[in-house]
Structure formats: structure tokens, C-alpha cells
Amino acid sequence: MRRTELQISLSALENNLKVIKSFTNASVQGVVKANFYGLFDDRMHEIIEQNVESYAVVTIDEALSLRKLTSKPILLFQGVHEQNDYKMIEENNLDFTIHSSWQLKGLSDFNLENSRIWLKLNTGMNRLGFNDKDFLIALKEIEILNIKDIVLMSHLASSETKSNPNNLKQIKKFIDVTKKFSYLKSMANTGGIFNFKEAHFDIVRPGIGMYGGKYSEFGIKPVTKLRSKIISINKVRKGESVGYDGMWTAQESSRVAAVGIGYADGLPFFSSEKTVIINGEKFYTAGMLSMDLMLVNLGINDKVKVGDWVDIWGFENDLSNIAQQFETISYKLLTNISSRVSKNYIE
């Protein structure tokens, strides 16, 4: 059996939720879009269920799958993508975001008494949301509907960078526009939770922090470890090249290991050296990544053998640092792991 696996630490997930909750008095909404950032398991859900007041997803299919597991509120983060989605919202008691005027059309045709509407204000991210004037107009339209509740929301664009002045500008704008309303308010993502207490309001929305992708300086622990086994070791003479296009040439006679993982498993493609760990020792990749294989230069080391595990990243790593090595972001490392990689959940 091919041994390529993503280990997922349930205790680290539980730790991260405790850390997040220790930083705020607000209720916590668990952002579980993209199949819990690619990590879904019933045991993961059980831990998150105990620590959140609601969930956030993007697609109707995600919401329907999650509804089978929980009676808690489930928010469609982007709202409906077409008008007939409101029928599914009505039947499954879903919360939903309104960020554009077209989403208001036909709302009164549905029974939404068990749904909260999250009305989104664009405070400077300029991605989704109403400008000040249209936000107030939309709010008046929503207030006359028979719905469960209204939540006023926005989204911070640069919350991981505390020194970025745009964060305080966004927070101020949100406060200025919404201060006269007594509805629940929500603005802070994971970065906002740790860096901007004034953005917590009533509900915070952690995502990447739960899954250990960032913010180790606040006590967040890595939740994942990606590894694969060596399936072959070849001796390469000085001056010989390996892999596609011969992009790596041995500077001395070396042993080169072939590891059973590639870009079809979700690793970002690369052709420059990357760091891996074998038996606690650091080694470097050799040549470009293949669809199913990664080559590692063992040099003159004769202790590494076929069957040894190669860690691409581990529980001791800050995943955001690993992401920089691969010239990507931690979100993508997690969500891109393919279905052919075994997921093993450990305590």
C-alpha cells in the first residue's frame, strides 16, 4: 500500500479553540468552508461543535451536509448564488449573507422566520458588501421581513498585520455606520481576534487559526503533519542529473531517494530546493517535483533507507513558514491536499 499520509491532531485542534476563546468574550462562529479546510472528520466536528455558537460555509452542498450533523446556525458566507437557493435556505433553516442588492429580490416570497440575515458592509476590502448608503437602504428592506434576526457584518482585509493602518480605518467605519443599531455585530476573523479586540463585537469568525495554519505566537498549534515513505534509493555519480529536464546535477557522488508524493497529492509544484526532514535530520529536494514523486538528495548519508518516513511538514513546524518555502499560503497547503492522501486522526 502506498504510504502517503496527512496526520491530523485532534488535541491540537482542541487547544486552538481554547486559545481563541481565551482571547475574546464574543461568541465564536467556526468557519468550516472547503470541507473544514480540507480536514473534515466526524471527530473534528465533535470538537468544534462543543466550542462554537454557529458555523460558516460557502456552498449549499456544504450546508446541507453539515445540517445532518448539527442543529446550530449555519451561515452561507456568500449568501445565495441564485434566487432559487432561498428555497433550500427555508427548508433547512440556514443563515445567509446579503452583500448585493440583487440578493434582496424575492426574499419576501420565502418563509425565513428561522434564518438570520447577515448584512454585509464594505468597510474597505472592496470585495463583497454594500457601501454606506446602500447598506442602510438594504437594512430598511430587511427589517420589515419576518426573519429570526439580523447580524451586521464586515470583513478585515489585513488583520494579520497589526501595524497596517487600514485595519483601524475599517473598524472605525464599521462602528460609525452601525453604532445606532442594536443588532448583533461581527467583524473579526482569526487575525482580528488576536490583534484587534475592538473588532470582536458580538460574534468572531475564526478559520485558519482553528486549523493551525497561522498565529503560533499566540499559542496556536499546528494541527497537521504531511509525510510519505521512501520507495527507492539510487546512487548517482558526480555530474549526473536526475528527474525531468535534468534540473538537478550531483555535485558529488550521492544517494538520491524517491519519495511517494507529488503535485497530484496537493503539494505545490516546485523545481528549486525545498527542505524535508528524515529521521530528525534536514535534507534538500533534488530537481523538480513530479506528479507522483519527490526526489531528495541524501548526499553521502548511508543510514537513511527505503521505508523511512519523510516529513514535508510536521507538528513542530509553523505552517505559515512552510508555506513561504513553497511560495504559497497555509490555506492552500491545507485545502489542496488531494483525496488520495490518507488522513489519519490522532489524539
Say if CB 309 and CB 258 are below 8 A apart. Answer: no
Angle, alpha carbons 112-117-118 (nearest 5°):
165
Catalytic residues: 33, 244
From start to end of the chain, where are the E strands? Answer: 4-9, 27-31, 54-57, 74-76, 95-98, 116-120, 149-153, 184-186, 203-204, 224-236, 241-242, 248-249, 254-259, 275-278, 281-285, 294-299, 309-313, 342-346
The pLDDT tens digits for 191-218 are 999 999 999 999 999 999 999 999 999 9
Say if CB 134 and CB 167 are below 8 A apart. Answer: no
In this prediction, residue 347 carries a pLDDT of 86
The pLDDT tens digits for 299-343 are 999 999 999 999 999 999 999 999 999 999 999 999 999 999 999
3-state SS class at 161: coil
Residue with cell 504559497: 328
The pLDDT tens digits for 254-274 are 999 999 999 999 999 999 999
The domains of the chain, with CATH numbers, are: 9-211 (3.20.20.10), 224-314+316-346 (2.40.37.10)
Contacts of 26 (CB under 8 A, 6+ apart): 188, 200, 201, 202, 203, 204
